[in-house]
């Protein structure tokens, strides 16, 4: 059996595989209503990052699952990216991961056993870095390669960071630069440089462990991570859940340097158009914004950065936490205000 490129075996890759936001809302329908379980602190009602269930007055368990098709061809890197992305949902709730289970679907007639083993080893490497075991999992023979984790974490019930608790006047802090979808699209077209690939891997395999530290900070009112729906899509989830409007200052948004020349050339992820079609009517773009700037704000991020809504007086302290955790590009990108759940970009 000759080796094949992983990305050639799938119709999408990374968090760009997500079902479009508008279609997902149509599919879920009333399933997103609040369920009558008093200890279920976070369910499906606000499209938050993970479920949270209170065990007692001091402990709550966080449960999440995340998996996707290959975003890169290197099997070890694919495993690392998928695992980092899955654990991000635990950190986005303010939690600390404790264990994971592997989700594996592979076309066993197309991939060599060693390739599949390397994918799993990549996931195991990330979990070791996070200090947790992959304690089991489930595998199937599938037409396209799929890998991810079901991750569990713990958090104090009073420290859960939801996406619907932002407040009027909060500033918005983004932890990683945008542009992963653009880099992935360039890789598929064989136009990505070595430097671009290195930046892509460094960003997508960086754990958002700063979320565990932010949990104990009362000034951090809301938290989510930016993934397949792009910055605008996940910010709109905060706005809808918190009944607030938002302003984003494009010149303050961190961007991946290797993605800039590519997006200006028109190399973009297909999911950008899908994202904008789903929520573009809820965004007011300044007339002077170029098309490539709008596209980056809707670019599907795989293992993207945390997005925090923070009391303005604590912005410097929270930024310092991000920077100390290795999120060098973390920056204040805007603010929240009273008003309709819309985003204005200037």
Q: How far apart are CA 236 and CA 161, in angstroms?
A: 17
Determine the Cα angle at 269 with ends 265 and 275, to 5°.
Answer: 120
Alpha helices in 135-245 (DSSP H): 180-188, 194-204, 210-214, 230-242
Rounded Cα gap, residues 66 and 102, in angstroms: 10
Active-site residue (options: 15, 17, 321, 327): 15
All residues at 6 or more sequence positions from 10 whose CB lies less than 8 Å from its CB, including other chains: 17, 69, 70, 144, 145
Torsion of CA 89, 92, 93, 98, to 10 degrees: 60
State how far the Cα of 215 lies from the Cα of 321, in Å rounded to an integer. 12
For residue 82, what are the β-bridge partners?
none
Cα–Cα distance between 178 and 257 in angstroms, integer?
Answer: 9
Assess whether 15 carries a catalytic annotation. yes
Query: Under DSSP, is residue 133 helix (H, G, I), strand (E, B) or coil?
Result: coil
What are the strands, taking DSSP E only, across 178-305?
220-225, 244-248, 283-285
Active site members: 15
């Amino acid at each position: 059996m000759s080796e094949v490129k992983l990305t050639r075996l799938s119709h999408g890759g990374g968090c760009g595989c997500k079902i479009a936001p508008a279609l997902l809302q149509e599919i879920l329908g009333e399933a997103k209503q609040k369920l009558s379980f008093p200890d279920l602190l976070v369910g499906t009602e606000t499209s938050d990052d993970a479920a949270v269930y209170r065990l007692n007055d001091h402990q709550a368990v966080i449960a999440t699952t995340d998996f996707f098709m290959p975003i890169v061809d290197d099997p070890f890197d694919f495993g690392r990216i998928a695992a980092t992305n899955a654990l991000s949902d635990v950190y986005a709730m303010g939690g600390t991961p404790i264990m994971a289970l592997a989700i594996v679907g592979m076309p066993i007639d197309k991939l060599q056993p060693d390739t599949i083993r390397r994918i799993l080893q990549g996931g195991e490497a990330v979990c070791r870095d996070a200090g947790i075991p992959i304690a089991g999992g489930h595998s199937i023979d599938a037409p396209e390669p799929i890998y991810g984790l079901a991750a569990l974490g713990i958090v104090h019930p009073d420290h859960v960071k939801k996406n619907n608790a932002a407040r009027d006047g909060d500033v918005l802090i983004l932890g990683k630069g945008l542009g992963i979808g653009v880099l992935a699209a360039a890789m598929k077209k064989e136009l990505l440089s070595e430097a671009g690939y290195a930046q892509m891997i460094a960003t997508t395999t960086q754990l958002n462990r700063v979320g565990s530290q932010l949990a104990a900070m009362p000034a951090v009112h809301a938290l989510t991570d930016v993934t397949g729906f792009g910055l605008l899509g996940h910010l709109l989830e905060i706005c809808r859940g918190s009944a607030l409007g938002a302003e984003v200052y494009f010149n303050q948004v961190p961007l991946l340097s290797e993605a800039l020349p590519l997006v200006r050339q028109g190399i973009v992820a297909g999911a950008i158009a899908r994202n904008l079609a789903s929520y573009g009517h809820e965004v007011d773009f300044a007339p002077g914004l170029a098309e490539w700037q709008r596209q980056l704000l809707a670019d599907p991020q795989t293992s993207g950065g945390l997005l925090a809504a923070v009391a303005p007086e604590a912005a410097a302290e929270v930024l310092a936490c991000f920077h100390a955790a290795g999120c060098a590009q973390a920056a204040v990108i805007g603010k929240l205000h009273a008003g309709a759940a819309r985003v204005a970009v200037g």
